[in-house]
Amino acid sequence: MRNFILLSFCVFAVNISFAQTATELFDKGDSLYEAKDYKNAALTYSAGIREKGNETMVFRYSFCAAIWSLAGMPDSAFHYLDMVSKSDKVSITDANGIKSDDDLNAIKKDKRWQSTIEKILAQAKKNSFPQEEFVYGRKDGMGLTLVWIKPKIKANGKAIIRVLSGAWVSGYNGFEIETALLQLYLKRGYSVFAVMHGSQPRYAIPDAVNDLKRAVRYVRYNAKKFGIDPSHIGITGFSSGGHLSLMVAMAEEKIDSTANDPVDKVSSRVQAAAVLYPPTDFLNWGKKNFNVLRDTNLIRNVRVGEAFNFKTFDRRARSLNTISDSILKYKIIKEISPIYSVSPDDPPVFIIHGDTDGLVPLQQSESFIAKLKEAGVANKFIIKKGAGHGVEDMMTEFNQFVDWFDKYLK
């Protein structure tokens, strides 16, 4: 009987992994999990991890452990948690998430649980980098914050602005900034500044752009305190974070020499940018003359409509009024499309985009790179075959970002 079960497992493993990518296996595992077919979900997820290998992200291991727990197989669950406890990417946030995960309740009474959690926490603390939060600006009576993440080795005097943004929503848990994707910079001595911006639905894209420019000015103004060279600042982000990064990178140099706040008297320019799958042209979204607001999947399903709900302030009435004038709205949509701000004096740009991205059309990066080439701006472009909208499928290419900044933040 035991041999039959083993044979069945092997046959299943072969079937689920044959001609399937890790992403496909993870997607299938997610579907099986939703259907509460936990054993097959766990088997499928395990196959995805094997297929992905060393590039598997930490949350895949912890989720796989949770599914094995739900399947009533504690040994397999602890196997994956043990792998988490040895990862150089696991964070304190990951560890706290595992501790509070209800899907792991079935194994929390196991005598191995406490020692495993302690190992995970110890590894997470070992992986952590010193962090300090600052208020870089204020609006509407609220503070705009960034977190300074410091390298453990001697700082190289260069800064990376990491735009924390997805669907033009920004924030973090208030405890720790995830550093798994920032270690490539920190391990080379870069000081990283993780920046939060005003988010939709309360704030539209133009507000977020202004916030990011203020953040760059703040970092530059306080360069001495942060131990950086103010002329060596790069910017990076994914998706909407990539879009906002390019908006800052392509912006015209405008310094308000009459500003009351000394921070606003310095430049918001950056010296290099490296981004993933960024929106760049909202007027030609995937094809010519197709306005982004016509993409119902993006606007309704991803729920980004409020990012494009532009408002004007009526000082007399002290009210915010939605802009409905189509000509004015067109003008703003063009202004927040970085492709229309490209000029020969712009900083070097590196873009990575998957050719199966279902949210941001590959055309967005292709047309933007073409514009950079036309203007004579240094650039690099990688189209990742088979990759969708996520960094997990392009980790090898993503790791080249630090080399890009090394080259242009000399």
Per-residue pLDDT of the chain (410 residues; tens, 9 = 90+): 444 444 444 444 445 545 588 989 999 999 999 999 999 999 999 999 999 998 899 999 999 999 999 999 999 999 999 999 999 999 999 999 999 999 999 999 999 999 999 999 999 999 999 999 999 999 999 999 999 999 999 999 999 999 999 999 999 877 789 899 999 999 999 999 999 999 999 999 999 999 999 999 999 999 999 999 999 999 999 999 999 999 999 998 888 888 899 999 999 999 999 999 999 999 999 999 999 999 998 999 999 999 999 999 888 988 999 999 999 999 999 999 999 999 999 999 999 999 999 999 999 999 999 999 999 999 999 999 999 999 999 999 999 999 999 999 98
Is residue 74 classed as helix, strand or coil in its secondary structure?
helix
Question: Do 175 and 142 fall within a single domain?
Answer: yes
Give the end of a domain, one of 97, 112, 127. Answer: 127
Question: Do 202 and 272 fall within a single domain?
Answer: yes
Q: What is the domain-level CATH number for residue 147?
A: 3.40.50.1820
Give the end of a domain, one of 105, 127, 149. Answer: 127
What's the Cα-to-Cα distance from 307 to each of 122, 168, 258, 399, rounded to whole Å? 40, 7, 31, 30
Q: What is the domain-level CATH number for residue 99?
A: 1.25.40
Domain tally, the chain:
2
Question: Do 210 and 335 fall within a single domain?
Answer: yes
Is residue 408 classed as helix, strand or coil in its secondary structure?
helix
Give the end of a domain, one of 127, 142, 161. Answer: 127
Question: Do 172 and 309 fall within a single domain?
Answer: yes
Question: Do 279 and 390 fall within a single domain?
Answer: yes
Provide the domain limits for residue 29: 2-127
Question: Do 176 and 322 fall within a single domain?
Answer: yes
- CB-facing half-sphere around the CA of 78: CA atoms within 13 A: 17
Question: Do 99 and 146 fall within a single domain?
Answer: no
- How many Å apart are CA 38 and CA 82, to the nearest integer? 20
Assigned token pair, 148:
């300074």
Provide φ and ψ at 91, rounded to 5°: -115, 170
Question: Do 292 and 324 fall within a single domain?
Answer: yes
Question: Do 123 and 135 fall within a single domain?
Answer: no
For residue 132, the cross-strand partners are 148
